[in-house]
Amino acid sequence: MSWFSRKKPKIEEQSNEEERKVKTEGIFVKCPECDSALYKRELKESLQVCTHCAYHFRFGARERLDTLFDNGDYEKLDEEVTSTDPLRFVDTKPYIERIEAAKKSSGLPEAIVSGKGKVGGHPVYAGAMDMSFIGGSMGSAVGEKITRLIERAKKTNGAVVIFAASGGARMQEGTLSLMQMAKISAALAQLHQAGLPYISILTDPTTGGVTASFAMLGDINIGEPKALIGFAGPRVIEQTIRQKLPKGFQRSEFLLEHGMLDMVVDRREMRDTVIRLLNFMMHDEKSRR
- Is the previous residue joined to 225 through a cis bond, with omega within 30 degrees of 0? no
Of the candidates 219, 209, 210, the one whose C-alpha atom is nearest the C-alpha of residue 188 is 219
Pairing of strands 112-119, 74-77: antiparallel
Candidate residues 24, 43, 54, 86; the one interacting with other proteins per rule CB under 8 A: 86
Candidate residues 213, 251, 252, 267; the one interacting with other proteins per rule CB under 8 A: 213
Indicate which of Zn ion, other proteins, none lies near residue 192 (CB less than 5 to 8 Å, by partner kind).
Answer: other proteins
Query: Measured between alpha carbons, how far is 201 from 180 in angstroms, rounded to an integer?
Result: 19
Query: Measured between alpha carbons, how far is 189 from 181 in angstroms, rounded to an integer?
Result: 12
C-alpha dihedral (27, 30, 35, 39), degrees to nearest 10: -40
Q: Which uninterrupted H or E stretch holds 278?
A: helix 270-281
Stretch near Zn ion under the rule CB under 5 A, chosen from 9-17, 23-31, 179-187, 280-288: 23-31
Q: Which uninterrupted H or E stretch holds 90?
A: none
DSSP label of 244: P
Nearer to other proteins, 69 or 125 (CB): 125
Number of residues this chain uses to bind other proteins (CB under 8 A): 64
Q: Does 57 bind Zn ion (CB under 5 A)?
A: no
Indicate which of Zn ion, other proteins, none lies near residue 54 (CB less than 5 to 8 Å, by partner kind).
Answer: none
Interacting residues toward other proteins by CB under 8 A: 80-84, 86-87, 89-92, 139-141, 143-144, 147, 169-183, 185-190, 192-193, 208-209, 211-217, 229-232, 236-237, 240-241, 245-246, 249-250, 258-260
Enumerate binding residues for Zn ion (CB under 5 A). 31, 33-34, 36, 50, 52-53, 55
